[in-house]
Copies of this chain bind each other. A is one copy, B any other.
Amino acid sequence: MSILLAHGGGGVRMRRLVEDLFLPAFGDEELRKLDDSAVLGEIVFTTDAYVVKPLFFPGGNIGKLAVCGTVNDIAVMGAEPLYLSLAMIIEEGFSEEELERVSVSIGNTAKECGVRIVAGDTKVVERGKGDGLYIISAGIGQLKVPHRLSLDTIKPGDKVIINGGIGLHGVAVLIARGELGLSSKVESDCAGLWGLIEPLLSLGVRFMRDATRGGVGGVLTEVADGRDWGIKVFENKLPVPMEVKGVCEVLGFEPLYLANEGKVCVVVENGKEEDVLASMRSHPLGKDAVVIGEVVEDYPGKVVVETSFGTHRILEPPMGELLPRIC
């Protein structure tokens, strides 16, 4: 057997690789939780490798992504992002000018997100053994909630909220690749979310996850997997921006599977959703926040989409084949 692109797609194949190969070999109890960050006492710790193609796209670049992605993986644990490390794997012949543009963007994004880049490493590989630049970030944050936010606290009746339009990062990167023969004004939503998330921590939030590879559908199917409750998503509530809808209609994509880099799915205690929505909408990154679904007793372990026509369809976990190198 050999590794396929789909093994890196954030879907079912990747999960199998992790569960069948990595966890038995070196999986610590904390790694087995498959959370966005490890919780180690009062600190959280996470890592992400960025191999996005192309390196520059409307709304961002690989450097901005590497900072925001790790900031968000920490933030969704209910922790304040503090310190980042960055490792770079550069292909021989890569332009110093592009490296500098990426680096300046890293510096600006780190400042905006309030994190310090304190450690780094640089490696160079021969031409044809890389693709310009790969960046790998790791991060440390400080837990700001008394207990780890856990799936175990979720109950039927809880609401699922998202902070705005979905699929923007996926569509922006796909169009920037130029392979689709489409043009569009879509910009990636790439952004650091700690400022949006921090005020929510005292408002009845049960669980959060940022919807990157695999999209909102990827997150929700993972969340529901193996539980004795399900998640119902209201299709007519889903904030799908017009440009994203257009691309999905032309190409047959499911917007729920498209990648985001500035969107968080929040599961909130029933009755607290208005407070959470109000807080989110007062922040620039949450002004289109909306309830998109709820936790239900029917469909245990599954995500079901209630269509605009009132019919129901089960949402399968993404397989990961669709969009390699989206982040």
- Give chain B residues whose Cβ lies under 8 Å from the Cβ of A57: none
A48: interface (CB < 8 Å): yes
**Chain B residues, Cβ within 8 Å of A122:** 7-8, 14, 17-18, 22, 49
Type the 1/0 row for A40-57, where 1 means its CB is closer than 8 Å to any CB of B.
Answer: 100101111111000000
The reply to whether A119 and B21 contact each other, CB–CB distance below 8 Å, is no
Provide the main secondary structure of the chain A interface.
mixed
Known contacts: A22-B103, A106-B26. The answer to whether A123 contacts B31 by CB under 8 A is no
- Chain B residues whose C-beta falls within 8 Å of the C-beta of A152 in the assembled complex: none
CA distance A1 to B118 in the complex (A): 27
The number of chain A residues with a CB under 8 A from chain B is 74
Closest chain B CB from A93 CB (angstroms) = 5
10 closest Cβ pairs, A-B complex: A8-B124, A138-B138, A25-B103, A26-B107, A38-B118, A47-B85, A49-B87, A136-B136, A30-B118, A129-B131
Q: A3-B93, A31-B117, A45-B85 are in contact. List 11 more A-B contacts (CB 8 A).
A: A2-B92, A3-B91, A25-B107, A26-B104, A31-B120, A45-B119, A46-B85, A47-B86, A47-B87, A51-B125, A123-B325
Q: Would you list 5 pairs from A and B whose C-beta atoms are within 8 A, ordered by A residue?
A: A4-B124, A26-B104, A49-B87, A89-B136, A129-B131
